Amino acid sequence: MYQLTEEQQSFAEAAREFCRELLGPTLREDDENERFRKEFIQALGEQGLTGIPTPEEYGGLGLGYFDYAIVLEEIARISASYAVSVAVTGLPQVILANMGTEEQKTRWLPGLASGELLGAFALSEPGSGSDAASMKSTARRVDGGYVLDGTKFWITHGGYADVYVVMARTGGPGAKGVSAFLVPSDARGLSFGKKEAKMGLRASPTVEVVLEGVEVPETDRIGPEGFGFSVAMAALDSGRITIGATAVGLCAAALDDAGRYACERRQFGRPIIDFQGVGFMLADMATRTESARLLVHKAAALKDAGAPFSEAAAMAKVVATDAAMAVSTDAVQCYGGYGYTREYPVERYMRDAKVMQIVEGTNQIQRLVIARSLKRRLSPT
């Protein structure tokens, strides 16, 4: 029988209760005003929730992605926006822990793992979303380092982060011409454009990042030249587990709220959950949620075991984020007209869910990843 260990269960419950107390009181206000509170990340960090997979020697908890997925689900039950923020500030950590130099790790990982510092990941551009290898940002070689120029779009924590992992072109066209760099927030020539007015995840800032003659020393390049696309893809594989876990948390929140409402709301003298039209809908919501959770946990377990996990991560991302959209939409339906108002949180769940089918590689791209993996495994040639 599949179940969490007592230690994992206690960790998850403690994380949920802390997030309820910290994030719950301002959820509605911050959603309406598009407000991000950086101090909340610091508070989450004080509880050990912002550096779960980062090695203990660099200030993290040194746990695996399975534990990370469990905690992100609990954060997302309360606030998908802050679950995304924890996941995004975790991307530079997984990159540096696996590919950074000792100096880079020592400089950045303790602060990121503790929540004192905030990280960001800058890959997408105005003309290169799914086709990330066609990016136009450049890193021109100069004595001692590089000069970066370009514009990055859709950057979570843009203008708030203390360090950005930036992908820029050091060579010719295509993936092999891309390199990865660390850019601190105080770098001269780094500025920020408009903040996106989003439908959902409104407490998580998404801001344009502009690089104009930003000087980066060679010691702040991650890996060798031309290795940047590999850095980005490895980070996104891991990120598909974290966005999947976030989507599962959103599913769980929508299911809990809708289920409780269906037990309390009475029509024709009976709780509406007793009517098949509602009861069956809730049953499907529960089944989708549990299916998504198991796929996310499988992908996380494979990563922790050092086994290939790209295909599993893509599957988990597709199933979990599609489930989040379906479950949150059904939650609104369960509430009827009330669900379409801001009096209840289910409309926020639905707005938050949509973007999860897009970020960390669209679900159409994930299906392409899965199909290519199937071809490699099954093709006779």
What is the biggest distance separating any 2 CA atoms in the chain, rounded to whole angstroms?
A: 79
79 token code pair? 């606030």
Strand partners, 145: 142, 217
Closest CA relative to residue 313, chosen from 80, 71, 69 = 69
Residues forming a β-bridge with 318: none
Q: In terms of DSSP bridges, do strands 145-156 and 206-217 run parallel, antiparallel, or are they unpaired?
A: antiparallel
Cα–Cα distances in angstroms (integers) from residue 8 to residues 4, 66, 68, 337, in the given order = 6, 10, 10, 38
Q: Is 360 a catalytic residue?
A: yes
Q: CB of 137 within 8 A of CB of 154?
A: no
Interior angle at CA 346, CA 47 and CA 353, nearest 5: 70
> Which residue numbers are catalytic?
360
